[in-house]
Structure 1
Amino acid sequence: MKDKRILYVSSEVIPYLPETELSSTAFNVAKYAHSKGIQTRIFMPRFGVINERRHQLHEVIRLSGMNLIINDMDMPLIIKVASIPKERMQVYFIDNDEYFKRKAIYTDEDDKLFADNDERMIFFAKGVVETVKKLNWAPDIIHVHGWMASLLPLYLREYYKEEPLFAESKIVTSLYSNEFEGELSQDFFKKVQFDKIENASVAHLETPTQENILKNAILNSDAIIKGSNDFSSDLEQFITESGVMVLDYQSEELLTEAYLDFYRENVLELQDS
């Protein structure tokens, strides 16, 4: 695995955001892979609650400066980078004042989901891909964590399907339960369709609950990992019927080695259809 490249894309990563099942798993798996000599890059949104001074984030001018089209609007892409202390691991932050400057992550002061979370998801997915293209860094595995990041498999499969940099990349999505209740914007479906992505590919997003967003990610991934231990029977059945390769939930003390074994013995052995 030493000559392999793994791109980790997560909604949350410690130490930049509070410790949760998601943020700690994403960090620990990347850290372990990095310690084994695997080339790693971590991408996450630059939420306004992240203290840029404390964590020494700085803008990368050569990567910033492009605009992404989100639902027919030009949105500037800003790229920031930091190194996790003691680990020598680089973390790239996808930033835009309109989407990420607010001092909150997913919900407002009344604990209601932000109305533009759907656009933030699209911006994050496109921002990751465009930045990796500028880096000219072709990953062997792209490992996605968290619902805010979970449009990336769809965009890689559809919007960027002709992009040669990702032609050999395998997509792994970690699923987490109970990340949000309710639904995102009812216009989510139309905003993804604006990017000329076929109706059948986004059918689950017509009712954009967390579970349906995860179903869309499952169908566009080469393999999935159960990052939590408590999913609904409906989602469990969907996972089984999807035919996608699965790694079952792993306890915290076992997961780093189990994930690396899964990459090596299963994901990298998949043949392109």
Structure 2
Amino acid sequence: MKDKRILYVSSEVTPYLPETELSSTAFNVAKNAHSKGIQTRIFMPRFGVINERRHQLHEVIRLSGMNLIINDMDMPLIIKVASIPKERMQVYFIDNDEYFKRKAVYSDEDDKLFDDNDERMIFFAKGVVETVKKLNWAPDIIHVHGWMASLLPLYLREFYKEEPLFAESKIVTSLYNSDIEDLNKELANKVRFDKIEDSKVATIETPSHINILKSAIENSDAIIKGSEVLPEEIETFIEESNVKVLDFQSEETLTESYLEFYKENVLELSE
């Protein structure tokens, strides 16, 4: 595994956001891989609640400056970077004033989901891919965590299917429990705008949390159960899907179990 490259893409990562099952798992798994000599990159959204001064974020001018087309709108892509103290791990932040400047993560002060979370998901997925292309860094594994990142497998499989940098990349998605409500009903149409076929968009026609996870499962090579309890509908969908699966791991075992899973069940798919 030492010569391998793993791209971690997560909705949340500690210490930049509060500690949750998602944010701590994404961090700990990446940290462990990094400590074993595996080349790692971590990407997350630059939510407005992240204190840039405290965490020493700075813009990477050579990576910023391009515009991403989201539902026929030009949206500037800003890339910021920080290093996790003591770990010598770099974290890349996908930023845009329209989508991420607000001082909140997913919802407003009334706990109502932002109406543009669908566009934020698309922007994040495209922003990650375009930045990795600029870095010219071909990952062996792309490990996705959290619903805000869960359109990435679909975009890699369809929108970027001709991109040679990712031709050999294997996609792993960790699934977590969440109580989010349905997203903007136009999500499927906004994805279709990117010339992604109807058959590939059908799963997210009703943009519920469960359907977004189903889409990620459909477009991944392997699945990890990041929460001990997942919706029954998701459990059934996993059983019916032809993907490798790692069951939920306790905090004590997850880092080594994930590396073993990569080695024995994910990378072997290339052979």
TM-score (norm 2): 0.99
Distance 2:181 2:46 in 1: 24
Distance 1:205 1:50 in 2: 30
Deviation at 1:202, TM superposition (A): 1.2
1:53 corresponds to:
53
1:204 aligns with 2:192: no
Distance 2:59 2:202 in 1: 37
Runs of 4+ in 1 over 6 A off after TM superposition: none
The residue correspondences of 1:233-244 to structure 2 (distance < 5 A) are 233-244=232-243
Distance 1:143 1:35 in 2: 17
2:266 corresponds to:
267
Distance 1:20 1:233 in 2: 22
Letter in 2 for 1:201: K
1:104 aligns with 2:104: yes
Letter in 2 for 1:11: S
Deviation at 1:28, TM superposition (A): 0.1
1:225 corresponds to:
224
Aligned residues: 271
Letter in 1 for 2:180: E
Distance 2:132 2:17 in 1: 23
SS in 1 for 2:245: strand
Q: Deviations over 1:73-130 (max 9, x none)?
A: 0000000000000000000000000000000000000000000000000000000000
Distance 2:138 2:118 in 1: 27
Letter in 1 for 2:234: L
The residue correspondences of 1:113-192 to structure 2 (distance < 5 A) are 113-178=113-178, 180-192=179-191
Percent same amino acid among aligned pairs?
83
Q: Deviations over 1:167-220 (max 9, x none)?
A: 000000000012x33200000010000000001111111111101000000000
2:7 corresponds to:
7
2:22 corresponds to:
22
Distance 1:50 1:164 in 2: 34
Q: Deviations over 1:17-49 (max 9, x none)?
A: 000000000000000000000000000000000
The answer to whether the Cα contact below 8 Å between 2:168 and 2:270 also exists between their aligned partners in 1 is no
Distance 2:86 2:217 in 1: 34
Distance 2:100 2:143 in 1: 22
SS in 1 for 2:94: strand
SS in 2 for 1:237: helix
Deviation at 1:153, TM superposition (A): 0.3
Structure 2: tracts of 5 or more residues without a match:
none
Structure 1: tracts of 5 or more residues without a match:
none
Deviation at 1:231, TM superposition (A): 1.3
